[in-house]
Amino acid sequence: MNDDTIALRAEGLYKVFGRHADEAVIALHRGTPRDELGAATTAAVIDASFEVRHGEIFVVMGLSGSGKSTLIRMLNGLHGATAGTVEVGGERLTDISPKRLREIRRRRISMVFQHFALLPHRTVIDNVAYGLEIQGVERDERIARARRVTEIVGLQGWEEKHPSELSGGMQQRVGLARALAADTDVLLMDEAFSALDPLIRREMQDQLLELQAELGKTIIFITHDLNEAMYIGDRIAVMRDGRIVQIGSPEDILTNPANDYVEQFVQDVDRTKVLTAESVMRKPRAVVHVGAGPRAALTLMRDEQVAGAYVVSKDRSIVGWVRDRDVFDLVRRGVKDLSSVIQSDHGAVATDTALADLFIPSLEAALPLGVLDSRDRLVGVIPRVTLLAALGGEPEAAVQAAPRPDPMPTAEVDQVLEAAVGAGAAEPKEAL
Amino acid sequence: MDIRIPVGTWIADFFDWVEVAFGWFFEPLRSLFLGLYDAVAWVFGTPPALVVIALVAVGALLARGWRFAIGSALGLLFIVGVDQWDNAVASLSLVLVAAFLAIAAAVPLGIWAARNDRVSKTLKPILDFLQTLPAFVYLPPALALLRIGVAPAVIATFIFAIAPGVRLTELGIRGVDKEVVEAGQAFGAHPRRILRQIQLPLAMPSIMAGVNQVIMLSLSMVVIAAMVGAPGLGQDVVQSISALNVGLGFEAGLSVVVLAILLDRFTASFGKGMGLYSTWRRRRLAQREADEQARFDAEILEVGGPRRSPGGLGG
């Protein structure tokens, strides 16, 4: 990966508390489990390596005691690393002088805290300006800049209040504004929304995503809430017992869990919000080219045993769909052109549509729901069974799912029933 | 077999050695103590008693309110009434000098202990020792090194009173929310700056409780200090014991109580937001913040996009 695109790189990070830390690192490196290190030694972070790209939201997810809080504090040197290196914007942050470390914290990396960590004896605006004050920005200038950020997070009119006069959500906005005002490239967020009410939390998550899209900061976000991780994370690192067990996109983690632990973990996730059309779609079975004649289309539908097919143009962009009956008529009448029976209400969805938003379109579509890429090309379809299977956590099951058996033609059934009555084979009515 | 640990001899030898090795140090120290004491005694002793009482009452009004002002004036008038004013001024001066020195030493020590576990672990037993050793025991070596008078009383009081100042300062600074300190570090603040802008302001209630304790302990040494020749209320108490003079003893003793209440209430009110001064200060601050807010609201910011409102979050 190109170095310019990396905002932060951690390599072989270890944090061991207690005595004999260095020996513990060597032992851990050799594969000794962390419970066998002895009572006086605690390995909080073991061999953590990852890279965070510019403008990415990288989420570190784990339960309490998994070492995630220690890990994030190593990224700005609040905890020194026992072994390993951290680089922020190409500058090493481990094993440097305290003066140099303060310099890097001022310019490159700021932090938002779980319990806000505002200075209670200062007003909102002075809290927001704190980072700038440390950077040595002159007072009028820093107040002006702090006011701009205060407005961005929606706290205009509250500048001269004290933190204790604000609700939890608003206090965390101040915390966020303080970190944004420092104007560093990298933002560390330590369980930043965990102390908030669920409704406020969702609002803050949305706001964070909005700000991220607007300002393009690199964000490293710690959480124990998998739904939160899945919602805001571009990539997620799952931690357990001090080790990173998997790094991947939310869909990756959900669909290809690295081990039983991750699998168990993701069981409770609301899949419909994380999985997208792209991750569950199948190859379309019958696609008719718009230039193909009705006979070719009908042959294809017969071979594939389908009652209808999507029609695409030369570059595979969608035109509409046709029903087998209409094409059948065309063939009977000897019409050579399909276009008269193509229906344009295909109802196809985009690849990044969340599963939750697929149900209604799927019900409304006559064919398996079509999936289009950004250039309107038909890249896949989602039969309803696939949607159900994905919901159950077994997207693969859909492949084997047999189509529901069609009822026998009514005429034949009537014939057989009548024949049976004629033969006098009486049946007790109750059996019906 | 008769085994005796000659601790007494060792300590006596130690102080003999200190006297020889650091004798040059104790003479200026004595002058310093005497100078400070004379200065404070001059401030309180020179104006007529009623003027001082009026000034104290005004101070009490500013610090706590009118009830405390009336109470302190009545208490001080009582001291004048039982003819203990000069003694009270002498005792007060001694207490203020010793407490001032103790606080000046205790706060930095407490800060150091809060930031360094090893210092904390070393100081703890020393403070325990200083606080539990009977106060009388400090008197002979103090006498030997500083001769009779105010100086040994100051040093004995200093040693006796310093412990809570150190302890409560350390406790206060260690008790500051760890995340807030981390916030200072995370934004790249220098440790000195974190101390000044975050730790000390947030630890202030605890530090002030320490100051209060130091002053109260200093006052409790007034009588003991009289035994090494320090002037003041203690002299009359000691004299009342030898002369079995019940009346004199109570007059001096009650004067000590008045001083104690005054000093306690004064120091306890620091930083608590009571009294006229705090009211003025609060009002001024609120006014300034309101002005500032009005100025902010009046200016139009050139931030793009619609104005977001924090509405619905609850205030």
What are residue A239's phi and psi, to 5 degrees? -110, 145
pLDDT over 50 (residue A1) = no
pLDDT for B108: 96
d(CA A245, CA B109) in angstroms, rounded, equals 47
Min distance B311 CA to chain A CA atoms (Å): 9
In whole numbers, what is the pLDDT of chain A averaged over residues?
A: 86
Of A113, A120, A148, the CB nearest to B182: A113
Q: Which of A45, A52, A102 is nearest to A77 (CA)?
A: A102
d(CA B45, CA A158) in angstroms, rounded, equals 52
> Could you tell me if B304 lies within 8 Å of chain A, comparing CB atoms?
no
Residue B79 · residue B88 · CB < 8 Å? yes
Min distance A161 CA to chain B CA atoms (Å): 8
The length of chain B is 315
Highest mean predicted confidence (pLDDT) among B14-18, B90-94, B272-276? B90-94
Q: Is A107 helix (H, G, I), strand (E, B) or coil?
A: helix
**Confidence label for B68 from pLDDT (cuts 50, 70 and 90):** very high
Of B189, B201, B303, the CB nearest to A148: B303
d(CA A11, CA B24) in angstroms, rounded, equals 60
d(CA B155, CA B146) in angstroms, rounded, equals 9
Kindly write down the DSSP assignment for every residue of A17-76, as one continuous string. Answer: EESSHHHHHHHHHHT--GGGG-TTEEEEEEEEEEEEETT-EEEEE--TTSSHHHHHHHHT
pLDDT for A368: 87
For residues B252, B258, B263, B266, the Cα torsion angle rounded to the nearest 10 degrees is -160
Structure tokens at B201: 């302001």
d(CA B179, CA B201) in angstroms, rounded, equals 15
Name, in order, each residue with C-beta under 8 angstroms of A385's C-beta and a sequence gap of 6 or more: A398, A401, A403
Q: pLDDT, tens digit, for every residue of A111-146?
A: 999 999 999 999 999 999 999 999 999 999 999 999
Q: Which class in CATH covers the domain with range A278-400?
A: alpha beta
Scanning every residue of chain B, which has its alpha carbon at the shortest distance from the alpha carbon of A149?
B303
- Fold of domain A3-269: Rossmann fold (3.40.50)
Name, in order, each residue with C-beta under 8 angstroms of A118's C-beta and a sequence gap of 6 or more: A127, A163, A171, A174, A175, A178, B180, B183
One of 3.30.710.10, 1.20.1730.10, 1.10.10.10, 1.10.3720.10 is the CATH number of B12-281, namely 1.10.3720.10
For range A337-365, the mean pLDDT: 86
d(CA A124, CA A115) in angstroms, rounded, equals 16
Q: pLDDT, tens digit, for every residue of A188-200?
A: 999 999 888 888 8
**Which sign does the torsion angle of CA A92, A98, A99, A103 carry?**
positive
Instruction: Give the full edge-to-edge strand order of the sheet including A378-382.
Output: A349-350, A369-372, A378-382
Q: For tokens 């100042």, what's the residue?
A: B165
CA distances from A5 to A2, A53, A89, A108, A109 (A): 6, 5, 9, 15, 16
Domain ranges of chain A: 3-269, 278-400
Q: pLDDT, tens digit, for every residue of B71-92?
A: 999 999 999 999 999 999 999 9
Q: pLDDT, tens digit, for every residue of A203-232?
A: 899 999 998 988 889 999 999 988 899 889
pLDDT for A412: 78
Q: Is B150 helix (H, G, I), strand (E, B) or coil?
A: helix
d(CA B71, CA B59) in angstroms, rounded, equals 12
pLDDT for A15: 92
For residues A383, A386, A388, A392, the Cα torsion angle rounded to the nearest 10 degrees is -170
Structure tokens at A426: 């009486």
Give the ranges where A318-427 is alpha helix by DSSP (H). 324-333, 359-364, 384-391, 397-400, 410-422
d(CA A144, CA A122) in angstroms, rounded, equals 17
pLDDT over 70 (residue A164) = yes
d(CA A13, CA A83) in angstroms, rounded, equals 6
CA distances from A333 to A71, A291, A292, A327, B66 (A): 73, 18, 16, 10, 109
CA distances from B103 to A84, A271, B4, B162, B175 (A): 45, 63, 39, 7, 20
Scanning every residue of chain A, which has its alpha carbon at the shortest distance from the alpha carbon of B287?
A160
Structure tokens at A249: 């996109």
Kindly write down the DSSP assignment for every residue of B36-58, as one continuous string. Answer: HHHHHHHHHHSS-HHHHHHHHHH
Scanning every residue of chain B, which has its alpha carbon at the shortest distance from the alpha carbon of A136?
B189
In whole numbers, what is the pLDDT of chain B averaged over residues?
A: 88
d(CA A343, CA A319) in angstroms, rounded, equals 8
Residue B90 · residue B255 · CB < 8 Å? no
Q: What angle do CA B39, B44, B48 make, to 5 degrees?
A: 135
d(CA A63, CA A174) in angstroms, rounded, equals 26
d(CA B171, CA A156) in angstroms, rounded, equals 38
Test the A interface: residue of B179, B187, B192 with most A CBs within 10 Å: B187
**Confidence label for B180 from pLDDT (cuts 50, 70 and 90):** very high
Q: How many CB atoms lie within 10 A of CB A27?
A: 19
Burial of A236-266, coded b for 16+ CB within 10 Å and e otherwise, reads bbbbbbbbbbbbbbbbebbbebeeeebeebb
Q: Which of B221, B197, B229, B206 is nearest to B130 (CA)?
A: B221
Under 8 Å CB pairs connecting chains A and B tally to 103
**Confidence label for B300 from pLDDT (cuts 50, 70 and 90):** low
Min distance B124 CA to chain A CA atoms (Å): 23
pLDDT over 60 (residue A239) = yes
For range B282-300, the mean pLDDT: 83
**Confidence label for A399 from pLDDT (cuts 50, 70 and 90):** low
Question: Are A159 and B293 in contact (CB < 8 Å)?
Answer: yes
- Asked if ipTM goes beyond 0.90, one says no
